[in-house]
Amino acid sequence: MYISLFSKLLRDSFRDLLPIIAVIVFFQLFIIQTIPGDWIDTTLGMGIVGVGLAIFLLGLEIGIFPVGENIARDFAKSKHLFWLLVFGFMVGFGTTVAEPALIVVAHKAADISSGRIDSTVLRLVVAFSVGFAILLGVWRILKGHPIHYYIISGYVLVVVTTFFAPKEIVGLAYDLGGVTTSTVTVPLVAALGIGLASSIKGRNPMIDGFGLIAMASLTPMIFVQIYGIFVYSFVEAKQVTALVTETIQPGGFTFSVNYLLKGLINTTLDVLPIVGIILFFQLAVLKKPLAGWRKIVLGFVLVILGLDAFIVGLEMGLFALGETMALELTSLNSNATIYAFAFLIGISTTFAEPALIAISKKSVEISDGRIHDLMLRSFVALGVGIGITLGAHRIIEGEQIHYYIIAGYALVILLTTFAPRYIIPIAYDSGGVTTSTITVPLVAALGIGLASNIPGRDPLIDGFGLIAFASLFPMLTVMFYGVVIDKLHIKSDSQIDHQYKGTEGIENPFRPKIGHSVLVDGKHEPDLAAELDLHFRALVVIVPKEKKELAVESAKNAGAAGVTILDAEGMGLSKFDNLFRVNHEVSDTVLIFLLPSHLINGVLEAIIHRLHINSTEDGIAFTFPINQLNGISLRQVDVFKDKLGEKSL
């Protein structure tokens, strides 16, 4: 069932990796002018990255996204406000405290502070701040407050605390805002926000559903700086540690079964807190069985396998090579080369970030097709490239980071007043999802490599901060993208669909009877009580076969009780010559739905908007009336009655 979807995701994954490969090959061959000795391992590793990314995204589609949205809807219906807030806090705290990137950065923080900061305490502070952010974000959705009030207030607090925080903490605190939103956390948090906003009357999933990730990226900067002020004021230095740079030194990767198993165990441990939180709140608080638990389990297993393969592939094919290149480029004494590499590597790595891919898919779906997947990711990537380039310039010139960040925040606030409301939460979230599995290691290696090779720079103070730049500037470019959409008058699927509709179709004047028989004295007699006075219409949808599952799922969610699926061959006839010379291959799927008239428009629009048929012209959908209808089962009749009752409420 999921083979065609996986094939599409696999193609997309390797397409997204091509920019990274092109940038690295160009700089390796034409700038550094050397061929890596382990290029075979690098090539194999990139292949594993592509497969792992496809498996990971498939798991998100069938496991994490549905469970996150369903549990949010269940909470919204249950009216358990207190437990909903607790759930939001636990999701943020539980998924952050074991984040691998946070553990690495926390150990570096202990070195920076000469023992003043305890790595475990720092992890708890960051995890608490993320939990608090999700709790506050859920409260915002419930109350319907505009997201920019919260974000702008947060920026003010970040700036205020920056002037009081020790200089050893500022760059680190800014970077922690980017590394805490992990690859698994982001899709679950996004699903929570969108599901909650979709279930509350008066909330817009596009405007209210996004923004949780932005808040989770903002609060660690405030909490860590406050914690740094405390420890540098009241805690004595316990030891003086030397700079440890082994983490960025190039070294060979040794693949082994033990390494693979260890990675699989670590990835499972990262995902288990999420599973435990979901099970506890679903079974103990909501007291409801986990609907479709087999698909959910399969989804989480695929996420674990895909993420583990993804990380193993990065270790084999990208991390070591990227770290080596960062150090070699910084030793060339060419600022223009460094800026070019920073800009291009920022753009290319962003395109392959799993968290951004997941968020962009949801953005397209929720925006009713107004936002284009590739365009959104392009503007995000542009922002990351600009941010990393500007951050590299700051390190080279030795300037203070907070001046850049304050200026960036001012631009964000300014653009917020001009950008369309629907793009603002997505723009804010873009800052958190861009600094994840691929970008962070390469960016961190570049920053510390620059600070290590430039006289007068402190790697532990000046080396941090690039991730903060990579998180800030996508907010600017995405809001600019929203302004461009409005200026170009790009229409949503609903608006395009409205243009397609001339006058409403004439309703079927006949009222077909849905007949059933009962056994009376050994004879089948018509059961007149089972007759329904309903208009029925047929909906026919022709789509590429890889989109079959999406179309059926959309129809089911809109109220369809059944479907007939046929394989079909599609061909253009403009250059048609000889039928017998055509290579016949099943390329399309025909879906036939028989629905009462009160459901037909909802199902039709759900399919059109989910597959973007009117905007991409990748499919055909049409309806026609039915005069006589037989064979509808009593079970389907009950479903139609229930749907009619729900519509009248």
In a domain, 251, yes or no: no
Taking only the tens place, the pLDDT of each residue in 166-190 is 887 888 888 887 777 666 667 778 7
Query: Which residues constitute the domain of residue 599?
Result: 508-571+581-648
526 and 418 within one domain: no
One domain for residues 474 and 607: no
pLDDT of residue 129: 94
Q: How many CB atoms lie within 10 A of CB 494?
A: 14
Using CB atoms within 10 A of its CB, is residue 453 exposed (0-12), middle (13-18) or buried (19+)? Answer: middle
Contact 472, 402 (CB under 8 A): no
Is 500 contained in some domain?
Answer: no
**Domain identity same for 429 and 534:** no
- Note the pLDDT tens digit of each residue in 186-236: 777 877 888 888 878 778 877 888 888 888 888 999 999 999 898 888 776
Same domain, 294 and 350: yes
- Residue 558, pLDDT > 60, answer yes
- 60 and 195 in a single domain? The answer is yes
Q: Are residues 224 and 341 in the same domain?
A: yes
Host H or E run for residue 539: strand 536-544
Q: Do 481 and 523 have their domain in common?
A: no
Asked whether residue 356 carries a pLDDT value surpassing 60, the answer given is yes
Q: How far apart are CA 468 and CA 449, in angstroms?
A: 17
Residue with the bigger pLDDT between 250 and 37: it is 37
Residue 19 pLDDT > 90: no
State which H helix or E strand residue 588 sits in.
Answer: strand 588-596
Give me the chain's average pLDDT, please: 77
pTM for the structure as a whole = 0.67
The secondary structure of residue 183, as a DSSP letter, is T
**pLDDT at residue 390, as a whole number:** 94
Strands 517-520 and 523-526: antiparallel
pLDDT in tens, 290-319: 777 788 888 888 888 887 887 777 777 666
Q: List the CATH number of the domain containing 630.
A: 3.30.70.120
**Of 310, 363, 562, 315, the residue nearest 482 (C-alpha):** 363
User: Average of pLDDT values for 358-385?
Assistant: 83
> What pLDDT, on a 0 to 100 scale, did the predictor assign at position 388?
92
Asked if residue 10 belongs to a domain, the reply is: no
Higher pLDDT, 319 or 583: 319
Asked if residue 161 belongs to a domain, the reply is yes
Confidence of residue 18 (pLDDT cuts 50, 70, 90): confident
Residues 415 and 524 placed together within one structural domain of the fold: no
Provide the pLDDT confidence category of residue 323 given band limits of 50, 70 and 90. Answer: low
Report the greatest alpha carbon distance in the chain: 102
- Report the distance separating Cα 18 and Cα 26, nearest Å: 12
- Average pLDDT in the 69-91 region? 81
Determine whether 405 is exposed, middle or buried from the number of CB atoms within 10 Å of its CB (0-12, 13-18, 19+): buried
Report which of residues 38 and 632 the model is more confident about. Answer: 38
How far, in Å, CA of 11 to CA of 26, rounded?
23
Q: Is 589 helix (H, G, I), strand (E, B) or coil?
A: strand
Spatial neighbors of 288 by CB under 8 A, at least 6 apart, are 74, 282
| Residue finishing a domain among 489, 524, 540 | 489
Q: Are residues 403 and 523 in the same domain?
A: no
Domain boundary among 429, 459, 489: 489
Count how many Cα atoms sit within 13 Å of the Cα of residue 95 in the half-sphere of its side chain. 29
Reduced to 3 states (helix: H, G, I; strand: E, B; else coil), residue 325 is: helix
The pLDDT of residue 174: 83
Of 437, 459, 489, the residue that ends a domain is: 489
538 and 479 in one domain? no
Write the pLDDT tens digit of every residue in 499-529: 655 444 434 343 444 444 444 455 555 544 3
Which of 295-299, 414-418, 479-483 is predicted with the least confidence, judged by mean pLDDT? 295-299
CB atoms within 10 A of CB 414: 12
Same domain? For 175 and 147 the reply is yes
Asked whether residue 595 is assigned to any structural domain, the reply reads yes
Token pair for 189: 């948090």
Say which residue the tokens 């990227």 belong to.
322
Number of folded domains that form the chain: 2
